[in-house]
Amino acid sequence: MQAQLRLEDYPAIADFIFTSFERDLADFTAKYKTMNGDYLTAAKSANITLKSIQATLIAKLEQKDVTAELYTTADSLKSKIILLKDYAQRGKIPTDSLSDCVYKLTKRNIEGALLTLRSALPYYDQNSSKLLDMPDGFLAALSDQLNEVDTLNNAQNTAINRSKESTANNKEVYKQVYQYITDIAKAGKIIYAKTPKADEYTISKLQSRVRAAQKKDEKGETTK
């Protein structure tokens, strides 16, 4: 059964287990000939490379932030469209395109909604004299928010592409570090079975150490 590790935890867990492995290198080499100094150097090198390409996680966080902002702004736009639809119904003019926009925004079909709304707005501008309840400047504000959603949608697409590209480029390095972690852990638990040192090669124990270190860092930041 493979260990379940969060990608962001790989470097820290590798640091812990590689430190123990370096200290116990003679024991490992005595039992596993290939787990020698060269192996240790290669493992450390892989982890250094991994740390340098953590842009994958940054890209994913950026994507998450942009998406949250996009959906919040799109929901605000939807509320304005619902208002415009009501003004149009009161003015006895068609609202099918506005209903379509609301449906698409509800389904998070942002690009489809923007395309429909851009096509529809000139019609409501031309018939604004019939929209007696509509406040002055409403269509201009709606158009501005449409442009804002369009900008955020483009930013989201860019963030998604960056995230996909980073993940594809870094996948092999993550796989390599994971292999070092699990191979050392398996051998360490065999070598130090039924001894306290075995904990240093037990991935669940290492995960707990990483969490504890992260909480300590967070607590230190809040007290500054």
Specify whether the CB–CB gap between 88 and 95 falls below 8 A: yes
Per-residue exposure over 99-111, b if at least 16 CB sit within 10 Å of its own CB, e if not = ebbbebbeeeebe
pLDDT band at 54 (very low <50, low <70, confident <90, very high): low
| DSSP of 11-60 | HHHHHHHHHHHHHTHHHHHHH-TTSSHHHHHHHHHHHHHHHHTTHHHHHH
In a domain, 142, yes or no: yes
In a domain, 113, yes or no: yes
What average pLDDT does the segment 86-113 reach? 97
Which domain range does residue 177 map to?
A: 7-57+163-216
Specify whether the CB–CB gap between 188 and 20 falls below 8 A: yes
In a domain, 204, yes or no: yes
In a domain, 223, yes or no: no
Q: Are residues 20 and 46 in the same domain?
A: yes
pLDDT band at 161 (very low <50, low <70, confident <90, very high): confident
> Taking the model in full, what pTM does it have?
0.54
Q: Are residues 144 and 83 in the same domain?
A: yes
How confident is the model at residue 1, as a pLDDT? 42
How confident is the model at residue 166, as a pLDDT? 64
Q: Are residues 136 and 209 in the same domain?
A: no
In a domain, 208, yes or no: yes
Q: Are residues 167 and 199 in the same domain?
A: yes
Largest CA distance in the chain: 89
In a domain, 224, yes or no: no
How far is the C-alpha of 85 from the C-alpha of 142, rounded, in Å?
A: 12
Q: How many domains does the chain have?
A: 2
Specify whether the CB–CB gap between 142 and 118 falls below 8 A: no
> Quick one: what percent of the chain has pLDDT higher than 90?
72
Structure token digits, residue 28: 């490992």
Specify whether the CB–CB gap between 70 and 108 falls below 8 A: no
In a domain, 145, yes or no: yes
What average pLDDT does the segment 7-29 reach? 95
Distances (CA, A) of 172 to 46, 161, 167, 176, 179: 10, 18, 9, 6, 11
What average pLDDT does the segment 167-172 reach? 72
Structure token digits, residue 49: 């490379």
For residue 59, which of 174, 150, 164 has the smallest C-alpha distance? 164
In a domain, 1, yes or no: no
Residue with tokens 């092999």: 172
Structure token digits, residue 108: 């998070």
How far is the C-alpha of 50 from the C-alpha of 166, rounded, in Å?
A: 12
- Among 97-106, 117-126, 151-160, the least confident range: 151-160
Looking at 160, 176, 203, the residue that finishes a domain is 160
